[in-house]
Structure 1
Amino acid sequence: MTTSTSVRARFPGDGRIDFDTVTLGPVAEGEVRLRVDVCALCGSDKRLLRSGSTVVPGHEIGGTVVEVGAGVDLPTGTRAIVYIPVFCGTCRRCVAGRTNQCLRLTQLIGWQRDGGFAEHVDVPARCLLPVPDDVPLTTAVLGLDTVGTAAHALRLWQRAQPDGVDRALVVGAGPLGLGVISVARAFGIGAVDAADPHEGRLATAVALGARAAEDLESENQYDLVIEVSGVTAARETAQRVVAPGGAVIALGESDQPYTMPATPRWRRTDLFTIRSFYFPTSEVEANWDLLRNSGAALRDRLTVPLALADLPEAFARFVAGDYLKPCIVSEDAR
């Protein structure tokens, strides 16, 4: 063994973060051990901060392979990001390359098994996405939730409106909404308006090329609306401003039910409603090209590098809205 101990964060609940040091055993068959070089905070992690978690959280992970288990033909030193869904690889969806639709999916890394708020993490080798030499890990990690999820949603939308649209509205300028803005033109969207009650987030959206939306009350304004906050009021806005024949992409997540209004106008609206989850591994190569074009600018606008020991402060400022995308970054990756 090249690594014997590892520091990890634990979320016992009620907003507390503790640290412990564990002794590492051998790497399991079919798995790899990563030195965690980058792990970005995600809005969904706030739920685990409140409720507690039996596993180490952190699911936007980039790192370097330091050990491999039996049956894994991958050299140590490989830089990679971690694909969150622990897909089976054998069901009909996985065989077709639609790994995000795995029919036997029971675990997400950082949710049902240990994630990346630690010095090391063990993951199935099939969940490792090697990073091209020309893409820094601090940029590559945005290819997971921020750009990967955004791009997949837009690829689904293209099936409904293959000719593109002149202007779209993004409701919610958090990291995922900003990811949508950064790649929108590559998917046939002429221009983007953005809406967010947080002035700093809206300013970042404008800096990335969006225009601040001026009217969120009038009906029938946009042929495409991407709702990214999950807030009930934002969902209502999306359903109000979309035009008949348009599309709403429902990306935002929350504990609130997603409802559609029982109004005469809504009943008379012909509309695509699109919900997507993550992205399939078959899209990874195309996503590297998106990151090469816009990843560095997005990283520089969104991320703040911090050490693992700074995780409690990072979450405090993240929850307060001071940080958009704080990242735990190792000394090796800085």
Structure 2
Amino acid sequence: MTGTITRRSARFRGDAVIDFTDDDLPAPAAGEVRLRVDVCALCGSDKRLLASGSPVVPGHEIAGTVVATGEGAQLPTGTRCIVYIPVFCGGCDQCRRGRTNRCLQLRELIGWQRDGGFADVVDVPERCALPVPDDIPQDVAVLGLDTVGTAAHGLRLALRTQDEQPRRLLVVGCGPLGLGVVAVARALGIESVDAFDPHPGRLALAGRLGAGTRVDLDPENQYDVTVEVSGAAPARDAAQRVVVPGGAVLALGESNEPYTMPATPRWRRTDCFTVRSFYFPLAEVEGNWDLLRRCGPDLRDVLAHPLTLPELARAFDRFVAGDLLKPYIVSGASA
């Protein structure tokens, strides 16, 4: 592809205002590929940009197809990819060891500091375009990013703290990431996976994915691993309270509130690990494809609701209201 094309993209102006622009886009830069956006899923973190506005096109859970390449890029046109959002350097010590999510030179996240996927096309560094296996459809592959990739990486870190496979694991918060944790924990063979959420409908979805459903988290010392996914202070308190001595609390939930540990005698006397993780490294991608083959289709069927780019504002209205759990913005080719 040479010359310019016109790209249709969403702009977040702040205060929940979304409008659309048609922008001239030059040929892809050297080392970059242009993707037709097949799927861009909404994420809870996008709500922050909806409120504050964004100088770039948001959208960071992207599956697309290569339609053009810049100088030096080798991916063939037609390659289906998911987009790895950390624009890692590839040369630092962490990157050379395959720990690209810990890049020491990380300055940009796609959809946050550079244009993302709420558009009909997006340009990304070729190293951030991860080819999708032929047997995994795009609407499942996109779950390999935040929903399964982040969940699996966090669980792998937490499980490393334990001398043996946990017998009991609890997920606190059954949004998309929490449901991803449920599905991945079961795929990893954890014997008993329970879930808690104050929203009965979301708790029922965890049950559909095979979790036991809990409505009472008052007793202490119940679970070998607890995974807090909401970021809410009461959920964090519950996750810390019910972990057994020697267990692990995995903090995946995000909020603007500081993460605190209770200054109680019980907590001070509890031998345990607190684990925080960010995204996943490229070294885990092959393992994540295997997890997606096992749990991805069921997760998609529980979570996804497809809409088109012109419906983005309505999708966010319903997403913020809690009517939709995981809206997918899909292209005409994927609808």
TM-score for both structures, normalised by structure 2? 0.98
- Equivalent residues of 2:40, 2:59 under 8 A apart: yes
2:42 maps to 41
- Equivalent residues of 1:58, 1:115 under 8 A apart: yes
Matched residue of 2:191: which SS?
strand
Shift of 1:43: 0.2
2:236 maps to 235
1:287 maps to 288
Shift of 1:162: 4.4
Distance 1:215 1:310 in 2: 39
- Equivalent residues of 2:167, 2:191 under 8 A apart: yes
Matched residue of 2:157: which SS?
helix
Shift of 1:91: 0.1
Distance 2:188 2:251 in 1: 17
Q: Which deviations, in whole Å up to 9, do the C-alpha atoms of 1:181-215 show, x marking residues without a partner?
A: 11112334111111111111111001110111142
Distance 2:150 2:103 in 1: 16
Shift of 1:248: 0.3
Distance 1:186 1:197 in 2: 25
Matched residue of 1:256: which SS?
coil
Letter in 1 for 2:199: H
- Equivalent residues of 2:187, 2:294 under 8 A apart: no
Distance 2:293 2:332 in 1: 24
2:311 maps to 310
Distance 1:200 1:60 in 2: 24
Q: Which deviations, in whole Å up to 9, do the C-alpha atoms of 1:211-259 show, x marking residues without a partner?
A: 1114211111111100000011100111111111111000000100000
Distance 2:62 2:179 in 1: 19
1:28 maps to 29
Range that drifts further, 158-167 or 16-25: 158-167
Is 2:184 the partner of 1:183? yes
Matched residue of 1:148: which SS?
helix
- Equivalent residues of 1:82, 1:128 under 8 A apart: yes
- Equivalent residues of 1:165, 1:188 under 8 A apart: no
Distance 1:267 1:162 in 2: 22
Distance 1:81 1:162 in 2: 34
Letter in 2 for 1:246: G
Matched residue of 2:63: which SS?
strand
- Taking the TM superposition and a 5 Å limit, the aligned residue runs for 1:183-332 are 183-332=184-333
Q: Which deviations, in whole Å up to 9, do the C-alpha atoms of 1:110-157 show, x marking residues without a partner?
A: 000000000010000000100011100000000000000000111111
- Equivalent residues of 1:250, 1:276 under 8 A apart: yes
Distance 1:52 1:236 in 2: 32
Root-mean-square deviation (Å): 1.0
Matched residue of 1:142: which SS?
helix
1:59 maps to 60
Distance 1:221 1:294 in 2: 26
1:156 maps to 157
Q: How many corresponding residue pairs?
A: 334
Q: Runs of at least 4 residues of structure 1 off by over 3 A?
A: none
Distance 1:48 1:198 in 2: 25
Letter in 1 for 2:169: A
Letter in 2 for 1:86: V
Q: What is the identity percentage for the equivalent residue pairs of Structure 1 and Structure 2?
A: 69
Q: Which blocks of at least 5 consecutive residues in structure 2 are unaligned?
A: none
Distance 2:188 2:334 in 1: 31
Shift of 1:104: 0.5
- Equivalent residues of 1:155, 1:187 under 8 A apart: no
